[in-house]
Amino acid sequence: MTESTSSTASPLSFELITTEGRARRGRVTTPHGQINTPAFMPVGTRATVKGLMPRDLAETGAEICLANTYHLHVAPGDDVVKKLGGLHTMMAWDKPILTDSGGFQVFSLPKLKMDEEGVSFNYKKSGKPIKLTPERSMLIQNNLGADIIMAFDVCVPFPCDYRPAQEAVYRTKRWLERCKAAHKREDQALFGIVQGSTYPDLRALSAQLTAEIDLPGYAIGGVSVGEGHQLMMEVVDATEPLMPKHKPRYLMGVGYPEDLVEAVARGVDMFDCVLPSRYGRSGVLFTRRGPIRVTKGKYKKDKYPVDTQCTCYGCQNFSRGYINHLLNSREILGSTLGTLHNITFYQDLMRAMRTAIEEGTFESFRKAFLDEYLSDDKKDDLNLHFNPAEITRDDLSWDTEHSIVPTKQDLRETKSAGTNKTQPSSQKSPSNKASSSEQPKKHKKSRKHYEKRSKNKPK
Ligand SMILES: [Zn+2]
């Protein structure tokens, strides 16, 4: 059921390859290459994902990255970026790039003044006054030169009263019309943004108003502002059915792995978030059995990789003990390895979801992943409990048997058990299915000593 559409003279097209329920497997084509969706876009705020070489970022499986309009306008200046050849040349990143509009950052600044024209504020460092308008945001983003640029919208805080949320919806629509008129470069695709706070009727209204303007893609904005997982999903539920089916949908600033899985189940195609890189730098690392804080004392002598199933350079070569030492000694390499691992984890998760949708096993994957990944108290918090009878491990298209986060007891047993091992479960893992179109990279290391399973998940 491959279907492809593009807007008139749009530099971007979207191909909806297949669906399972509301989950979508697609492909976005831009002037700098393709993005397989559902996709996660790592954030390079100042035109760099902190601590990572672009070649390392590409190795994580990332097919697109983000840069931040507000920060780059402040320094080095979008005119300087243009003189340095634009973002792709400056960053030596030849894959797609997306820039946000600057709205989200600007609306979080103190002493902000907004009128119909735009938003006035003072520069953080110099105190110099500046006004950001839809036209100015387009000019800045045209100078930066990303493949996908975002409309300048009105971001309301959470919680927000109904009336200002409603006014923001209408102003966002008016500003979107101005953005479209001001956008000059034919090699950049402008995405519109749906607002409406957490009010389902305003979300529906905003989705309709935004979709009236023909654009190559649409985003759900104003989420990830403290509303929590359940409200966020309610926002997606209220918005997604009214978004154009044959255009990519981008949920902005989201999120935790459980948010990504649940939003993919609701028909979202693209995500971005600072979380994996920010957490990675501080030593909160994702594993298939939930996040661990690797800087804790209990990991000091831990000889296991962060996640034994992970394909990243860090997990192939280093122990948790070494990363614990690096981060606690404030060595730069610790932050680099943490970031590399976390972004690889997110890319592996997206790849696993894409494969599951292709194979028609996404619903089972979703349940099995969340059951494995979330702790019981987190399942309570998020109201995500599953009937064990509904969970088929064979549908988990990555191998949790190897995602061991062992206890001290496990480590002692493994040490004394010698050769008394069980059959490596990867041999029966569905991740080795030949039918899968996107196979994870092969592991380079022997995993004999990771075979013993543990359900325990250190925090
Ligand atoms: Zn890793």
- Peptide bond before 255: cis, by omega within 30 degrees of 0? yes
pLDDT band at 109 (very low <50, low <70, confident <90, very high): confident
- Nearest-CA neighbor of 38 among 19, 56, 57? 19
| Residues 201-217 pLDDT 10s | 999 999 999 999 999 99
Residue 302 pLDDT > 50: yes
CA 56–ligand 1 middle distance (angstroms): 12
Is residue 272 annotated as a catalytic residue, yes or no? Answer: yes
HSE of 247, CA atoms in CB hemisphere, 13 A: 28
CA 402–ligand 1 middle distance (angstroms): 13
| Residues 344-396 pLDDT 10s | 999 999 999 999 999 999 999 999 999 999 988 898 888 888 887 777 666 55
CA 240–ligand 1 middle distance (angstroms): 33
The domains located in the chain, with CATH, are 3-273 (3.20.20.105), 285-432+439-450 (no CATH)
CA 311–ligand 1 middle distance (angstroms): 6
Is residue 302 annotated as a catalytic residue, yes or no? Answer: no
Q: Which two tokens stand for residue 161?
A: 């009263």
Pick the catalytic residue: 147, 269, 272, 410? Answer: 272
pLDDT of residue 442: 45
Asked whether the whole model's pTM tops 0.85, one would answer yes
Residue 86 pLDDT > 50: yes
The region that residue 422 occupies, defined by phi over 0 for left and psi between -120 and 50 for alpha, beta otherwise, is: beta
> What strands lie across the sheet with 113-114, from one edge to the other?
113-114, 119-122, 129-132
| Residues 118-136 pLDDT 10s | 999 887 777 788 899 999 9
pLDDT band at 433 (very low <50, low <70, confident <90, very high): very low
pLDDT of residue 110: 81
Q: How far apart are CA 350 and CA 371, in angstroms?
A: 17
CA 48–ligand 1 middle distance (angstroms): 20
Question: How does DSSP classify residue 306?
Answer: S
pLDDT band at 107 (very low <50, low <70, confident <90, very high): confident
Q: Alpha helices of 145-269 — where are they, by DSSP H?
A: 162-182, 200-211, 228-239, 257-265
> Are 38 and 264 within 8 A, CB to CB?
yes
- Nearest-CA neighbor of 100 among 62, 66, 131, 134? 66
